């Protein structure tokens, strides 16, 4: 009898669990991380509500493989519109909210400083306010996409959660506001609000105007005879580059803890843009020979002698971050998170994906900034 009752209880509990998956909202679902995070959460059996802003041409390319999933829903929305955000949160009643929405290009932020602040800084405030006033603030867990750009002109390396902030771009400054307002709402209202301070993370879904993807696309095109030269800005800057698929897992882990907190996510290794270029060309069997200095520097195909890399000063930034180098010890200890992809593997994944994209004609033509 007792056994039958426990079996019945077990069946009721498991049916309830199956019947009501956790619900997550992703602001910025159409971006690189949004796509990988949506995929990951669906694999964890979540009901995923992605917020897509209205654009004149489609921004759904990164989600085409998910749109048939019956637990995946797309809503129109924009983090510049608080009534829209408040409505979505009330309607969906999520367990978790991930704010990945941003004007995420550092160089563009120098030209659109006010817009970048509105979306990246105030956008975060609007979501926090909407959660606070939703009547369900204690039940909703919030993740903010903070950035290593906040460390900027770092005084120490590698940078951890304790490091000093000195952002070097309107993007970095806006992200710092978002980071602090997230912390402030956690401390003021006891909200489960966290930030992941993520260092650069890349993938075949990376926007085409970020340096890694710009390089891997150009290498693929040069290899296939569709392009001749890759033009870049400062090649001596160093970045701590990881794989986006590894990093979205850290976002989720951050919201599964007993207490809200902030975490640095990084590989702990730093490489220069120049090394990235060399490694990417190595993947297609080309060695580079460097010649000249400053804006006159060129990279030649060591076998043919042809110039395949050149410098264009238009890619230099008004202020630059020479090196980023992260210390993810806390995330490793508390979240049990680990980076699983080496620099060499990351470059290989991206170069071969771009070769395939070009061969299959799935690489749409786009002006590179
Ligand atoms: P991404 O590919 O540029 O994606 C940004 C997303 O934000 C896109 O879905 C974009 O929509 C959306 N968005 C832009 N303005 C919006 C608005 N007003 N309202 C709603 N959505 C808006 O960037 P990502 O690389 O995936 O990065 C995700 C987040 O992490 C960003 O906040 C970024 O700043 C931050 N981050 C990224 C890195 C990195 O290395 N990737 C490192 C640290 C932090 P559209 O598709 O319509 O443009
Ligand atoms: N984009 C670009 N294009 N960058 C170039 C180029 C070029 O032709 N040539 C050199 N670089 C240098 C930039 O000056 C910068 O120092 C470095 O390459 C990396 O540039 P991006 O790939 O544009 O990324 P980011 O580091 O500025 O910003 C990315 O990472 C941040 C995390 O630290 C973005 O994803 C941000 O949203 C993110 O927060």
Q: Which ligand is nearest to the CA of 218?
A: 2
* Eight-class DSSP state of 119: I
What is the per-residue pLDDT for 35? 98
Q: What is the dihedral of CA 273, 279, 284, 288, to 10 degrees?
A: 70
- Structure pTM? 0.95
- Residue whose CA is closest, atom 29 of ligand 2? 200
What is the per-residue pLDDT for 366? 44
Task: Kindly give the distance from the C-alpha atom of residue 210 to the centroid of ligand 2, in angstroms, as a whole number.
Answer: 6
Q: What is the dihedral of CA 102, 156, 316, 224, to 10 degrees?
A: -80
Other Cβ atoms within 10 Å of 245 Cβ, number:
20
Indicate the top mutation candidate among 109, 112, 210 to test ligand 2's pocket, ranked by most ligand atoms within 8 A of CB: 210
> How does pLDDT run across 329-341, given as a tens digit for each residue?
999 999 999 999 9
Check if 106 has its Cβ closer than 6 Å to any atom of ligand 2: yes
Q: Sign (positive/negative) of CA torsion 303, 306, 308, 313?
A: positive
- Side-chain half-sphere of 24: how many Cα atoms within 13 Å? 27
pLDDT band at 152 (very low <50, low <70, confident <90, very high): very high
What is the per-residue pLDDT for 18? 55
Cα 97 to Cα 305: distance, rounded to the nearest angstrom: 52
Indicate the top mutation candidate among 145, 149, 211, 346 to test ligand 2's pocket, ranked by most ligand atoms within 8 A of CB: 211
Mean of all residue pLDDT scores within the chain = 94
Distances, alpha carbon 61 to alpha carbons 35, 215, 247, in Å: 9, 21, 21
């Amino acid at each position: 009898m007792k056994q039958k009752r426990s079996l019945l209880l077990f069946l009721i509990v498991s049916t309830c669990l199956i019947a009501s998956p956790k619900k997550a909202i992703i602001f910025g679902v159409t971006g690189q991380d949004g796509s990988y995070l949506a995929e990951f959460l669906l694999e964890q059996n979540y009901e995923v509500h992605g917020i897509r802003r209205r654009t004149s041409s489609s921004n759904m390319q990164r989600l085409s493989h998910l749109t048939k999933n019956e637990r995946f829903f797309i809503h129109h929305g924009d983090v510049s519109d608080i009534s829209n955000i408040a409505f979505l949160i009330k309607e969906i009643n999520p367990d978790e909210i991930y704010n990945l929405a941003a004007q995420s290009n550092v160089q563009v932020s120098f030209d659109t400083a006010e817009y970048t602040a509105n979306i990246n800084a105030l956008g975060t405030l609007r979501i926090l306010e909407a959660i606070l006033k939703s009547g369900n603030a204690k039940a909703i867990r919030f993740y903010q996409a903070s950035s290593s750009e906040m460390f900027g002109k770092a005084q120490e390396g590698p940078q951890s959660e304790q490091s000093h902030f000195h952002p070097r771009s309107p993007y970095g400054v806006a992200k710092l506001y978002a980071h602090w307002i997230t912390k402030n709402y956690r401390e003021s209202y006891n909200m489960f609000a966290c930030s992941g301070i993520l260092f650069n993370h890349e993938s075949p879904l990376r926007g085409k105007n970020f340096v890694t993807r710009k390089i891997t696309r150009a290498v693929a095109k040069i290899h296939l005879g569709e392009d001749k030269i890759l033009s870049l800005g400062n090649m001596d800057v160093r970045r701590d580059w990881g794989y986006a698929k590894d990093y979205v897992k850290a976002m989720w882990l951050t919201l599964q803890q007993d207490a809200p907190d902030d975490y640095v996510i990084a590989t702990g290794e730093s490489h220069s843009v120049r090394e990235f270029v060399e490694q990417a060309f190595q993947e297609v069997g080309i060695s580079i020979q460097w010649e000249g200095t400053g804006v006159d520097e060129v990279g030649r195909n060591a076998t043919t002698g042809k110039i395949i890399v050149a410098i264009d000063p238009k890619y230099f930034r008004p202020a630059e971050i020479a090196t980023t180098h992260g210390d993810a010890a806390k995330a490793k200890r508390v979240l049990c998170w680990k980076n699983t992809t080496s620099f060499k593997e990351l470059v290989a994944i991206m170069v071969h994906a771009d070769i395939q994209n070009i061969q299959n004609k799935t690489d749409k033509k786009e002006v590179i900034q």
